[in-house]
Amino acid sequence: MPTGSAEVSENAEALAHRAAQWITGLAADSPGRFAICLSGGSTPRRLYQLLAESPYREALPWERVHWFWGDERFVPWDHPESNYGMAQKAMLAHAPAPPENVHGIPTTGIPEDAARVYERTLKAYYEAESLDPARPLFDLQILGLGPDGHTASLIPGTSALEERQRWVVEVVGARPETRITLTYPAVESSRHTVFLVTGADKRDVLARALAGDQALPAARIRPVGSLTWFVDEAARPQL
| Residue type present at position 199 | G
Q: Please report which helix (H) or strand (E) contains residue 56, including its range.
A: helix 56-59
Domain boundaries, the chain: 8-181
The C-alpha atoms of residue 233 and residue 144 are separated, in whole angstroms, by 16
pTM listed for this prediction:
0.96
Res 2 pLDDT > 90: no
Q: Quick one: how many helices (H) and strands (E) in the chain?
A: 7, 9
Quickly name the fold that domain 8-181 has.
Rossmann fold (3.40.50)
Q: Can you give the pLDDT at residue 239?
A: 57
What band does 1 get if pLDDT is binned at 50, 70 and 90? very low
The dihedral sign for the CA sequence 127, 170, 218, 47:
positive
Q: Can you give the pLDDT at residue 72?
A: 98
pLDDT tens per residue, range 15-73: 999 999 999 999 999 999 999 999 998 889 999 999 999 999 999 999 999 999 999 99
Res 210 pLDDT > 60: yes
